[in-house]
Amino acid sequence: MGSRILSSQSQRQSHWQSLSLARSLGRVLAGAAVSIALTLAPQGAMARQAPDDVQGVVGTIAAQQLPNEARQTLERIEAGGPFPYDKDGSRFGNYERSLPQQSRGYYREYTVKNSNSRNRGAKRIVCGGDQRAANDCYYTEDHYNSFKRITK
């Protein structure tokens, strides 16, 4: 009976060592998986707060380089209107956090008129802060999927 107890204790100890090794291996594999995912993730997949490092901001564009329709929209924003669409000047929620995080109601969106489109189209200018200052503005051609910060 003594040898059975020893064998049983030895088996238990071996079993617990195996479980401990399995847990350790699981942690290592999980860490490796996270590391690989972060390495392979598309650039900008993690939220950041610096204006040029934010997920949806892919660079800058000078106001003079904007398409004519976008320059006209920017001029309307600076003038306080009039705007061609009822939704122009409405709150932009920034729910995807594509733009730098600000307090609620900071950003407003404006349609960039497209003569080829029957609806509002995909082009927008989103501005933050004082509505007439147009100091913190971003241009998107793909309906908020990516933005370029407008510089003056």
Distant-in-sequence, close-in-space partners of 102: CB < 8 Å, separation ≥ 6: 94, 128
CA distance 140 to 122: 8
CA distance 120 to 111: 7
CA distance 114 to 77: 17
Which residues are part of the catalytic machinery? 109, 143
The residue assigned the tokens 């071996």 is: 14
Do 126 and 140 contact (CB within 8 A), yes or no? yes
Neighbours of 88 (CB within 10 A): 20
